[in-house]
Structure 1
Amino acid sequence: MTQQLPTSTGGPDWLRLTPGVFVLLWSTGFIGAKFGLPYAEPLTFLTIRLSLVALILAVAALVMRAPWPRRWTDVGHITIAGLLVHGVYLGGVFTGIAHGLPAGIAALIVGLQPLLTAAASGRVFGERVSGRQWLGLTLGLCGVLLVVWENLSLKAGYLTGIALCIAALVGITAGTLYQKRFCGGMDLRSGTAIQYAATSVGLVVFAWQLETMQVKWTGEFLFALVWLGLVLSVGAVFLLYVLIRRGAAAQVASLFYLVPPATAVIAYLMFDERLGMLALAGMAVTALGVALVNRKPQAARPTG
């Protein structure tokens, strides 16, 4: 690979912190879902969340005079990437968990994304994945498996949830590749507003058909809505797009290996969910794998 993540390149100091901050924020997604899903069905929850964020970003883009896409082709590409990254991924994960699939299994399925992205990025972008990076990707997957292994259990009723999370896996992988290929020049303010607005329209159609769309406006639901809407849908997604724009696809995707371990730590701190030795070992293996994927190759020493 010829490109590196911001931690390995020059640029403003804040860019060096982007991968770590992104992982921390993205890891709170399951925590926010745990707060909000008891009070609203998944597609209804997502529709409210993304509609709110689309409105906020649209107003911000207008106030800040952000450029908007001038061609309908560009709008189409931005919309497709948004539907994949936000609609298919979030819809699949949230509805999978709502069907009773444990968060650990959902995290494990979506955790296959780095391997899937690495396999596809070579064909799409011509990015070369070295043997060391393949080793790191494999170690990362093994680490994720160790983290969630203690809570893994399969039941017949989980099949629907598994299928939904597989769809989410395909969505986030395809969306990441599509975003890098066709939306490299997208303004993050106006472009993301378009993506959330389009995704909200798609989600509300399914919510209208499949759910009651009833909401209990409790304090916990409002907290989850604000947190997932602003911190996740604005902060974390902006950081993801910065990483996609500056880094190779397989390297960016490898950061998702750190999400299940980080989520486990947050769940331990907030809900006292205990971490066993396998989970702790898995975190270490995952960190090693991501380090191998993103380590900058050493320059060849001159001879003679």
Structure 2
Amino acid sequence: MRTKLSSTIFLAILACLLWASAFVGIKIGLPYTTPLQFAGIRFFISGLIILPFCSQRRDYFRLILKNWKVVFVITLLQTFVHYSLFYTGISMVPGALGAIVVGSGPVFVAIVAHFSMPDDKMSLKKAGVILLGLTGVVLVSLERGSLSGEGKLILVGIALLILTNINSGFTNIIVAKDKDKVPPLVLSSASMIVGGLMLFLFSIPIEGLHFSAKPFEYYAALAWLSFLSAAAFSIWFTLLKRPGVKVSDLNMWKFIIPVFGAIFAWILLPDEHPDVLSIAGMIITGSSLFLLNYLNRKKIVR
């Protein structure tokens, strides 16, 4: 049991580290294209990357057709709705504020799980650990930029990002409940291929079509983002389907995404530098995850 918990923690951290590196990739690639088109191409390629690794390749389309409702819902929520809301919302709010709202995702997932999963109820200890982790995320995010902004668009942006977090909670619950119907790699591949295509088509009337030669850094960023999405979502869907894994506990590890996103930015981007506030936030977030791990291991001993 302890080995299984350690394996789950390792894979969850790996997936979150991959997602954390997305900030740098998006910042490098986005100046050369439009947000929704960039996301659509990225996820379409991600789905194609996973396809050769599906052991059920011969039954790929049969599995999708047999379970089309689950595949459609995950495609719609996880790829199309999530990233449409995310890119629109993040463009309306200051960077630091957006990072805080997005970083609060595990809080919303825990609330959704509390009301949707009978074995994943919120306790006072868990609530305390989640709030501690969120405090660390806020401190790290404050270092990223200003909270100031103008107009009602900020409120709209915040609302869209909160909807993104709630949507993510429901998506995680759906995948967790669908234990044996659709294999994780098939679900990841199909949802990203179709979802990426939907995003791309949806972007055309809004952003227009932009076909032109681009510099090497754009293609490098697109390649990395496509790979990390393929790997991270495949790992995450596999973990959500594991027996005994609680959705709220698993999503707590997402607190490290803004933390390592900042670290990767410091290393790879010349205009990003650490400060005392962000380092304090990282220590607090790390402490919350240590407490979560301690509480989970204590349950196993009992």
TM-score by length of 1: 0.85
Distance (Å, rounded) in 1 between the aligned partners of 2:6 and 2:288: 25
1:208 to 191, 204, 211: 204
Structure 2: segments with no counterpart, 5+ residues? none
Aligned to 1:226: 223
The one-letter code matched in structure 1 to 2:275 is: G
Deviates more, 1:122-131 or 1:275-284: 122-131
Deviations 1:163-211 (A, max 9, x none): 4323322222221122112355422332222101221232133202211
- Aligned: 1:123 with 2:119: no
Distance (Å, rounded) in 1 between the aligned partners of 2:231 and 2:83: 16
> What RMSD in Å do the two structures reach over aligned CA positions?
2.7
Distance (Å, rounded) in 1 between the aligned partners of 2:60 and 2:217: 36
Q: CA deviation at 1:43?
A: 0.8
The one-letter code matched in structure 2 to 1:220 is: E
Deviations 1:219-267 (A, max 9, x none): 1110111001012x21111121122223201111111111111111111
Deviations 1:268-290 (A, max 9, x none): 11114112111111111111112
2:3 partner SS = coil
Distance (Å, rounded) in 2 between the aligned partners of 1:227 and 1:213: 23
CA contact (8 A) 1:66 1:190 kept: no
- Aligned: 1:249 with 2:247: yes
2:198 partner SS = helix
Q: CA deviation at 1:32?
A: 0.9
Structure 1: segments with no counterpart, 5+ residues? 1-7
2:274 partner SS = coil
CA contact (8 A) 1:101 1:162 kept: yes
Distance (Å, rounded) in 1 between the aligned partners of 2:208 and 2:236: 33
Distance (Å, rounded) in 2 between the aligned partners of 1:122 and 1:188: 24
Aligned to 2:277: 278
Percent identity between matched residues is: 23
Distance (Å, rounded) in 2 between the aligned partners of 1:120 and 1:143: 22
Distance (Å, rounded) in 2 between the aligned partners of 1:11 and 1:140: 24
1:269 to 252, 267, 270: 267
Distance (Å, rounded) in 1 between the aligned partners of 2:92 and 2:23: 14
Aligned to 2:21: 28
- Aligned: 1:167 with 2:178: no
- Aligned: 1:77 with 2:65: no
Deviations 1:43-85 (A, max 9, x none): 1111111222233333543895465554746222122123222
Q: Which contiguous aligned blocks of 4+ residues in structure 1 show a shift greater than 6 angstroms?
A: none
Distance (Å, rounded) in 2 between the aligned partners of 1:260 and 1:234: 20
TM-score by length of 2: 0.86
Correspondence list, 1:141-156, <5 A = 141-150=134-143, 151-156=145-150
Distance (Å, rounded) in 2 between the aligned partners of 1:180 and 1:203: 25
Deviations 1:112-153 (A, max 9, x none): 221111112122111133322111001011111111123232
Compared CA separation, residues 292 and 61, structure 1 to 2 (3 A): same
